[in-house]
Structure 1
Amino acid sequence: MLGTGMTTETEIRLRGMRALIEALGLVEAERFVVSINRERFDYTTWRQKGLPDLSIEQIAACANQLSADLDTKPSA
C-alpha cells in the first residue's frame, strides 16, 4: 500500500479478484468478470436492485450449488 494509507487501484483489483475466486471458485469468478465487462452498467445500482438481499457467502453458496447441479446434469 501507499505510504498515505490509500490502497492503489491495482491492489484493490487484486484483492477483489482473490475475494471473488475464494467465494465463487476460479471459473465462476472469471465468468462473473466477463459478464460485467460485456456491457456498460452501474455496479452500485445493480448491487442495490439487481441482486437478492443475500450476503456474499450466501450468493457464493448458491453459485457453487448451481455449478454442482450443472456438473451432475446429463448432457443432451
Structure 2
Amino acid sequence: MPKPRLTQHVRDRMRQRGISEEEIWAALARRRGNPQATASGSIWVYGYVPGGRILKVLLTADETTIITAAWPGE
C-alpha cells in the first residue's frame, strides 16, 4: 500500500504542533490498538513515535489521505 497523501491542513498543523513527517510515518507503522472511526467516516490512528510518545493521526477511511495529526491531549 502506498503512503497516504499529506494535505495542506495536516502540514500546517504539523508546523504548529512540532510534528515531523518522520513521526507521522512512524506512528502509522507502529500503531497502538485499532483505528477509531469518527461520525464523519474518517479514522483516528494512534501510534508510537521515536522516544515512545504517542501521536494521533486522522485519515480518510480508505487510509489514502492524512487529514490532521496531534499529540493526545491537544
Structure with max Cα Rg: 1
Q: Which has the higher strand share?
A: 2
Of structures 1 and 2, the one scoring higher in RCO (CA 8 A, sep 6+) is 2
Same fold at TM > 0.5: no
Provide the TM-score with structure 2 as the length reference.
0.32
Provide the TM-score with structure 1 as the length reference.
0.31
